[in-house]
Amino acid sequence: MNDHRRLGRELGIFDTDPLIGSGLPFWLPAGAAIRKAVEDYVYELERRHGYQHVNSPVLGKRELYERSGHWAHYGDDMFPVMEVGGEEFVLRPSLCPHHALIYRSRPRSHRDLPLRVAELGGMYRSELSGVLGGLTRVRAIQLNDGHIFCAPEDAAAEVSAALDLIEAAHAQLGIEAARYRLSLRGEGGKYVDDPALWAESESVLREVLRERGRAYDEERGEAAFYGPKIDIQIADPLGREATLSTVQVDLYQPGRFDLSHAGGGRPVMVHRSVVGGLERLVAHLIEVHGGAFPAWLAPVQAVVLPLTDAELPAARDLVRRGVAAGLRAELSAPEKGSLGARIRAHRLVPYQLVVGPREAAGGEASVRLRDGSQAGALPLAELAARCRPEF
C-alpha cells in the first residue's frame, strides 16, 4: 500500500519536527517542486477562466470573524486570540472574509459582475493532536481558494463553471472522485438560522447537479455554517474518504458585510476550491501515483546519466541546457555507481538521458523512459513540452 506518510518521507517530499510542532509539516525540495507545479497549473487554469488573483494577510482582527459569523459558528476550530497593541488578532480559519472585504474595497457596478477572485493562501485550524497525521490532517493549510461575486440569476451558471474547472484539474492530476456529495445543514447552533436562505442556496446546487446529470449523495450535518455545498470526495487506498474540492453558495456573508453594487443590488458569493488544500492534495497524489508522478508534476523530470567520467562535461552542459529549457533536470555522475544502479535509483524519474561517447560528441542524449522503453534522441525542447500540463 502506498501510504503517503512513509513514501512522502522516503521520497524527500515532506517531513516534520517536534520543535516546529504537530500538524505543521514542512516541504522538502521534492515536495516544494510538486507544490510549485500545482500552484502554477492552477493559477494559469484560473487566469484563463477569468479569475483575478489577490493576496491577503493570514491574520485578521477578532471583529472581522465576528462579522463573518466564524467566531460564533466556527470558534472551536480557531486558534486563540493574540493581543497586540491593545487589539485582538486571530489566525484566519478561512479566506472568505478577506475576499469579501476585497470586493467591498472598491465601488462596484453590475457591469463588474461576475467578479472572480482567487488566492492560494494560508489558513489555520486548531485541530486536536489525536486527529493529526501526515499531510491529510494539519493545522496550517495552504488552500487554493476562490470566490465569485455574481448576480443571483447567474449563480447556477457560476457553480457549474466552477465544477468544470474542478473536473478539468482532476483529470490533469490523475484524480478520480469517489463520489459527489450534497452537504446540507444539520441541527443545532453550528449553522446560521435562516431557513429561507438555506432553501434558496440548496435549490441552486440541486439545479446544477440535475442539469449536469451528476449522481450524488446527500449528507446532513456536513454543510458550511453559512450554506450548503457540493463536496467532491476522494478515497485513499483503504477506502477512507476525504473532501478535496468544494463549491458553495453563500447568501449570508454578502449581507453581513453589506456587499452591494451600484443600484443597490446584493451579489451572491460562490465559494469554490479547485484542488482544496495543497497538503491533502499532495498526500493523495503520492498514494495515487506511488511516487511515479506525471511528467509535469515530477520533482525531477529528467536525470542525465553519463556513462563514464569522460562524458561528464557534456552531461553537465546537457543539464544546464535542460534547466534553461524549463526542465527540472539533474545529474547522476558515474561516481554514484554503475549505469544500471543509477537507472534503478532514478526509476521514478520520467526521462533518463543516457550520454555515451557518441551522444557527447553530438551534444545530445539517448532518452530512456521510466517504463524501460527507449525514446531515441529527443530534442530538449520536445522533452520540455512533454513536461508541461495540458489546458
pLDDT tens digits along 87-99: 999 999 999 999 9
- Please state which CATH class domain 4-289 belongs to: alpha beta
pLDDT for res 236: 85
Residue 130, pLDDT score: 78
Q: Which three cell numbers stand for residue 164?
A: 468544470
Place of cell 542525465: 304
Q: What is the pLDDT along the chain (391 residues), one digit of tens a residue?
A: 789 999 999 999 999 999 999 999 999 999 999 999 999 999 999 999 999 999 999 999 999 999 999 999 999 899 999 999 999 999 999 999 999 999 999 999 999 999 999 999 999 999 888 788 899 999 999 999 999 999 999 999 999 999 999 999 999 999 999 999 999 999 877 899 999 999 999 999 999 999 999 999 999 999 999 999 999 999 988 888 999 999 999 999 999 999 999 978 999 999 999 999 999 999 999 999 999 999 999 999 999 999 999 999 999 999 999 999 999 999 999 999 999 999 999 999 999 999 999 999 998 899 999 999 998 888 888 999 999 999 8
What is the fold, at CATH topology level, of the domain defined by 302-386? Rossmann fold (3.40.50)
Query: Looking at residue 187, what is its pLDDT?
Result: 86
pLDDT, position 271: 98
Backbone phi and psi for residue 241, each to the nearest 5 degrees, phi listed first: -90, 155
CB 141 within 8 A of CB 125: yes
The per-residue pLDDT for 264 is 83
pTM reported for the whole predicted model: 0.94
pLDDT at 263: 79
| Domain parsing of the chain, residue ranges | 4-289, 302-386
Instruction: Give residue 73's pLDDT.
Output: 92
